[in-house]
Chains A and B, each alone.
Chain A
Amino acid sequence: MRKLTYSAILCALTIPSVASADCGEVSITEMNWASNTVVTSVAKFIMEQGYGCDVTVVPSDTVPAVTSVAENGEPDIVTELWKNSAGEAYERLEAAGKIKPLTKVLRPGGIEGWWIPTYLAEKHPELTTIEGIMANPELVGGRFNNCPDGWGCRVANDNLVRALDLEASGIDVFNHGSGETLASSMASAVQKQEPWFGYYWGPTVPLGKFDMTRVKLGEYKAEVHAKNQSPDADNPKVSEFPAATVLTTVTPDFEDREPEVAEMLAQLSFETETMSSLLAWMDANNATAEEAAVYYLSNYGDEWSSWLNDDARKRLSRLLGN
């Protein structure tokens, strides 16, 4: 034990060596949902270990992050930015050149839509279309679980509800107070094998965990969908949700400062399928999102090694096994 103590004192006196590379301080957002924690953790690991950056993770949410970029030019990187939840504010920033989209971080993109549990769809196949649901409101429990106030999807849903005249068919619209109650209403219904009908989006843990079937709202009409994005649109019509664009964006200032890191971030992108399977793995193993990121880094080496430049690949060679 004594030997251990001496060596401990010796170790304590030596300052831990900092990875030497030419990358400075970088700030990156971490939104409050699981897939984003995975993306951010993977990006942070690569930037720190591969490029020697000093990474600060900023816990945030879509709108606050976009506003912060607009007002302060910080944080440098906003990742997994759902374009439709950021709304007009993002469009304006992009037009003004204050933010620059690098890549779609999820390919082909996020899924959003109206869902029912698959066991319900199997029992009553007619419920897989919105017409079928409106004809049999009692089969889905007579309730549509809507987004909380202040979410981008709430606006679109409210317009769709008016366009379909959902309430006239005997379906109550329940406006949830937060994403947590929306998720837990789905979870408790599925656990009891009860009917449930509502909005959800993916890739998320609930959609990875529960077997849900998407309700067909009809065709996707770009013009109608765009119009449904503004609150209380006149004469709304029905359109299916398209695949949502989910971006990694950086400030132009960051791109000038760290071109190599920006180049890597422009490559950093996940298949939506891969992300779903990561989230399912996370739930099955009772793991945290950070551990899911570690799982990805240790098992999908071929995928992420192609994002790196040669220097970074050399630094991470031990992990890549070559």
Chain B
Amino acid sequence: MNIKEYILSGIVESYVLGLANAEDAAEFERMSAAHIEVRQAREEFELLLEKRSLENSVAPPRNIRSKIFSELQIESDRYLDENRNISTIQVEEAKSPAPVVKMNWLKWLAAASVILLLGSTALNFYFFNRYKHYSAQYDQLVARSAELAKNEQALRTSLQEYQNSLSHIRDTNMAVVRMAGSSVPTSPDPTSAATVYWDKKSKDVYLLVNNMPAPSSDLQYQLWAIVDGKPVDAGVFDMKEGVIKMKNIPRAQAFAITLEKKGGSASPTMEQMYVLGRV
């Protein structure tokens, strides 16, 4: 079979339309590589087929195009990522003519970004206001907490004082010396009363003011221990609730309180003796 016969055998059409079997197709490829006439005949039929096909085009549904291109956008990005290391020049060439579809995509992205930014700003403003509000509330709570802690400390201190007083009163080693205004004929206030708690072991002296008139600011009460008929200074004290610790007194037969100048006196002013009690 010569070339002309080969060309007219129908192999050209068969090959182009994909109807030739593998063996015939391989032979045709060899023949077209070797003979320009075969190649020309093939191209001629291809062009004819293409021309007629284009004339008989059927427009596909419009949405197909965007479906394909959104799919390809993903593929394109992947392709560019994969090839970036191989050739940066190639990447730039492939990227530079920004396609219509990509532009639209970018526009949407830009619009979405603006919306997100506006939303974000509004949220920031909202959250900043919330923050200010809660911050102020927090400061108030801290202040209140500090105040409560201070009150608690004060309560704790006074509770401690009461507990101390109570423990002295309960203590069985404690000698209780009740001093009364009624025991002093010359007492400026016969209703006065005070109690000495005297620890028999440690000889510590504690004083509880039951009822004494408040002195003027330049005067102070002074406790005296009467030892063998002589007064011994047991300390001055200010009017306060609870038990007051006085000076240690090793030995005494009685206790008395006089009103003296502030800071106390070396010897008691007998006319100002308010209370007296015997041990």
To the question of whether A and B form a pair in one complex, the answer is no
Chain B residues in the interface with A (C-beta under 8 A): none
